[in-house]
A and B are shown apart, each in its own frame.
Chain A
């Protein structure tokens, strides 16, 4: 079982829809990242969370440490939001210190 599980793997939406991508993890963490990867490979860090909720424009990220779960929400989705969204966690114990463990990503396609 992967330490970081994302769902769904693929998501197709119509422009304007509200989107939720989920991330569950099984290890203790010090931080969780949401990353966006566009075709061609470049990655942008969207959020880094250790508790609560963060908002940036139409993007909202939440984390529940007790439930080991995080969600990324996109409001009023737009075709330019089409990308792979990756959840990554930074462990807080033993050999997992300081290195990220990545989910396999969620491919989001927003149709006009």
Chain B
């Protein structure tokens, strides 16, 4: 069975451009989480989607947005790119993120975004 897949693996953009990252969860998983890992910083929670809706977001500006499609895949969009947006963006999925004690996470390999 395929794990969580992310694309592209690497993406290079310039300041002011927009970046779109994609994530396909494990089959049957309805929750998708996005995390940012910037150089020198730990992982930070970005967004959580479940059943097509945004359920929670971390402390990031509105130019970080996304959506979840009916097949539960997800897209992360970053508008008006800034240099400090350069980071590894990780996607994870779980069966049901709303349940308190279920929802073991499975991570993708990440998409490395470089903003020049």
Contacts and interface: CB of A to CB of B under 8 A. Distances in A.
A30 B48 CA distance: 17
A30 B101 contact: yes
Interface string A45-89: 100101000000000000000000000000000000000001010
Interface in A91-107: 92, 95, 97-105
Interface in B95-111: 97-98, 100-101, 103-110
A108 to B, nearest CB: 16
B101 A101 contact: no
Nearest to A2: B42
Contacts of B88: 41
A17 B33 CA distance: 35
A104 B42 contact: yes
A31 interface: yes
B56 A35 contact: no
Contacts of A104: 42
A14 to B, nearest CB: 27
Given A92-B100, A104-B42, A41 B48 contact: no
A41 B109 contact: yes
A35 B47 CA distance: 19
Nearest to A100: B45
B56 A45 contact: no
A18 to B, nearest CB: 26
A106 to B, nearest CB: 11
Contact of B107 (A30, A45, A97): A45
B113 to A, nearest CB: 12
Nearest to A104: B42
Nearest to B37: A41
Considering the complex of A and B, which 3 residue pairs feature the smallest CB-CB distances, nearest first?
A43-B107, A102-B43, A42-B109
